[in-house]
Chain A
Amino acid sequence: MASINELMTERRGHAGSAVRRRTNFGIFLGPAIALTVLFFVIPVIIDIAVSFTDLDRTLRVSKFTTEQYQKVFQGDRRLPQVIGLTFIYVFSTLAIFNVTFGLVLALTTTSLNDMSGGFFRGVWLLPRMSPSVLYILLWLWVVNPSDVGLLNQFLIQVLGLTKPLDLMTTAPVALVIIANGFIGASMGMIIFTAAIRGIPEHLLHAAEVDGAGTLAKIRFVTLPALRWPISFVTIYQTLSLLVSFEYILLLTKGGPFYDTTVYALYVYRHAFASGQYGYGAALALFLIVIGIAVALLGWRFFDLGRLLQRPRIEVH
């Protein structure tokens, strides 16, 4: 029996003229490629280019120089602190909230019946579903330094503290970690919940009959099944935490001083607050390179075979 391709060739006399093929390419892929090149490729090139200039507030380039890179490696006294802070921030948020707490939430909510479990998962999704400005607004209320702040109300009335706390000045890094953590935990929770639901029921039954209690079941059946999702979340969220600064900007603006300025926010502040676009571009370049590297790492997680499946129609 003739294949569809033979049929089409027979009918049209050709597998699709070159003109047709080109127009199809243009119609279908053209806009996407144009946008991608314009907004992904060109900015990267611009960034590389600008990092070798002295572009500043005046938005005029006067010379090409490597002084920005010299500054990165030798001249900037604050940079090591910023890098150190970034490591602490990313690692803590990831370890405590995104992975661990996400896992805990997934495990606990799946142990309840569907309705209750769904309710708690819904609550933990609320931060992610809220616009960032609003979410941070609520945080600002909670940690308000006077006795009006919810946290202080709780501490004073329930725990009996005498003076209200000001977390923004006393523990800004912890505050930032927790605020981002609540958002991060929800992603892990969703992915781990789906994975837990995918574990065949009989495996857990078998473990029960074999003598495993709740903790043993988690250790021997559930966690081994979550190996891939945990790695996926770790890598994906590491990248995400490394480059996002929106919540920090809204919450503490990076302060006090530079105490909560992570690397990505540092770039932003140099470029837009201080107007040092050249230096900002140089700093950003490192982040871009890391971003591409980690995104490439992410390939391992995708079923490339399925993604690259050959199309079965060859005509146009």
Chain B
Amino acid sequence: MARVEFHNVVKRFGDVEAIRDMNLTIEDGEFVALLGPSGCGKSTSLFMLAGIYLPSSGELLFDDRVVNEVEAKDRNIGIVFQSYALYPHMTVRDNVLFPLRFKRIPREEALGRVRAAADLVQVEELLDRRPSELSGGQQQRVALARALVKEPQLLLLDEPLSNLDATLRLTMRTEIKSLQKKLRVTTILVTHDQVEATTMADRIICMRGGRIEQIGTPDDLYHRPDSLFIAGFIGSPPINLIRGQARDGAVHVGPVAFPFEGLPGAVTVGLRPEHLKFAVSGLKGRIGQMEPMGREILYVVETDVGYVRVLEHGSLAVHAAGEPVNIGFSPDESLVFETASERLIAAARVCPPA
């Protein structure tokens, strides 16, 4: 149906390279997320797939056929823009009906499809309203209905949840994911929010500066990040990256040392706040700040090797600000990176098999 491939795709705007040499395969029916900070080229990639931008060089393939020059209107793609882009002067019904106008479907049947699409996203009661009368969440669902009504082979979502408030975001996350499972349409989600990416997508493509940094399942990226950038990007609260030294068969970070089978040199140790606990021995420090987050508390501890974040479960604060503590961790849960190249040397050993 719709297997999508990028072959050495480059996109230039004037003298600026927005996408450099992108190679990617997305299988039919997959739900992938293009994740990265703003300006990394994820939306540009999306728009090239949609036919809004033309690649400067390289090839885009749908089902093994080159589609670079095929016009947007012939690609049968559904897209939901960050701004929803609903036609302001048309009712919801006409908005959703719009793509079907160009398919030469009899009006009766088209209206039926509109109703089905509206049911799917639960906007059937809003069909006669105008976009200006709808809330953000409602507009987004109408945009989804419009994208889906033409039964697209590819569904593209450009930061669909970023304009919604927190509760709505949660609801829509589940809704979109279950929709995709039901319809089995190849879906590509663009987002800068790693929580969105990890909770919704089957695979994540992490991008930075126009290049793909790493591709993998959410688990892969969490347990085996290829670089410091990925390690820091995935996981909330963000990982602690602490400078250390590898020598004599061990990694020394602060007063703590643990066995390590690698070349000696400067390393950066990645410790996730959720894997750290206050113990009898370990990294010595003093509690700086506390951020209660409901079911957990985030402590920011000042140590000799910098600020270390520790996440403790439970809602009661057992420690107070200024209190001297020791941070303990299991070496099996640590990530070791070579400081110079920022690449992963040793992944956490306690993780599911690749």
Residues of A at under 8 Å CB distance from B?
Answer: 200, 202-203, 205-213, 216, 220-221, 224-225
Contact = CB atoms under 8 A, between A and B. Distances in A.
Nearest to A224: B89
B101 A206 contact: no
- In the A-B complex, the 5 residue pairs with the smallest Cβ-Cβ separation, listed nearest first, are A211-B102, A206-B85, A208-B72, A210-B99, A202-B85
A205 B73 contact: no
Interface in B49-96: 50-52, 71-73, 75, 77-79, 81-83, 85, 87-89
A210 B78 CA distance: 7
Contacts of A209: 50-52, 72-73, 75, 77-79
Given A208-B52, A210-B102, A221 B87 contact: yes
5 contacts: A205-B79, A206-B87, A207-B98, A208-B51, A212-B102
A206 B102 contact: no
Main secondary structure of the interface of B (DSSP, over half): loop
B81 A206 contact: yes
A205 B52 contact: yes
Interface residues of B, number: 25
Nearest to B152: A209
A184 B82 CA distance: 40
Contacts of A213: 73, 102
B79 A206 contact: yes
B85 A203 contact: yes
B55 to A, nearest CB: 16
Given A209-B52, A209-B79, A212-B73, 8 more contacts: A200-B83, A202-B81, A202-B82, A205-B79, A205-B85, A206-B85, A209-B51, A209-B75
B146 A210 contact: yes
B47 interface: yes
A211 B79 CA distance: 12
B252 interface: no
A208 B81 contact: no
A136 to B, nearest CB: 42
B203 interface: no
Contacts of B72: 205, 208-209
Nearest to B74: A211
A208 B85 CA distance: 12
A106 to B, nearest CB: 19
A187 to B, nearest CB: 25
B141 interface: no
Contacts of A205: 47, 50, 52, 72, 79, 81, 85
B150 interface: yes
A221 B51 CA distance: 18
A204 to B, nearest CB: 9
Between A205, A213, A224, A225, the greatest number of chain B beta carbons within 10 A of the residue's beta carbon is seen for A205
Interface of B: 47, 50-52, 71-73, 75, 77-79, 81-83, 85, 87-89, 98-99, 101-103, 146, 150
B131 to A, nearest CB: 11
A284 B258 CA distance: 101
B82 to A, nearest CB: 8
A211 B81 contact: no
Nearest to B149: A210
B89 A211 contact: no
Contacts of A211: 73, 99, 101-103, 150
Contacts of B51: 208-209
Contacts of B52: 205, 208-209
A224 B89 CA distance: 7
A153 to B, nearest CB: 44
A210 B47 contact: no
A210 B149 CA distance: 10
Contacts of B81: 202, 205-206
A208 B73 contact: yes
A220 B87 contact: yes
Between B52, B85, B87, the greatest number of chain A beta carbons within 10 A of the residue's beta carbon is seen for B85
Between B73, B83, B88, the greatest number of chain A beta carbons within 10 A of the residue's beta carbon is seen for B73
A203 B88 CA distance: 9
Between A207, A216, A221, A224, the greatest number of chain B beta carbons within 10 A of the residue's beta carbon is seen for A207
Nearest to B73: A211
A200 B77 CA distance: 20
Between A209, A212, A216, A224, the greatest number of chain B beta carbons within 10 A of the residue's beta carbon is seen for A209
A253 B174 CA distance: 76
A220 B75 CA distance: 20
Contacts of B98: 207, 210, 212, 220
Contacts of A220: 87, 98
A240 B179 CA distance: 58
Nearest to B47: A205
A127 to B, nearest CB: 34
B4 to A, nearest CB: 15
Nearest to A223: B89
Nearest to B80: A206
B341 to A, nearest CB: 40
A210 B73 contact: yes
A202 to B, nearest CB: 4
A211 B51 CA distance: 11
A221 B89 CA distance: 9
A224 B88 CA distance: 9
Contacts of B78: 209
A1 B58 CA distance: 64
B96 to A, nearest CB: 10
B187 to A, nearest CB: 15
A200 B82 CA distance: 12
B95 to A, nearest CB: 9
A215 to B, nearest CB: 11
A210 B99 CA distance: 5
A216 B87 CA distance: 13
Nearest to B50: A209
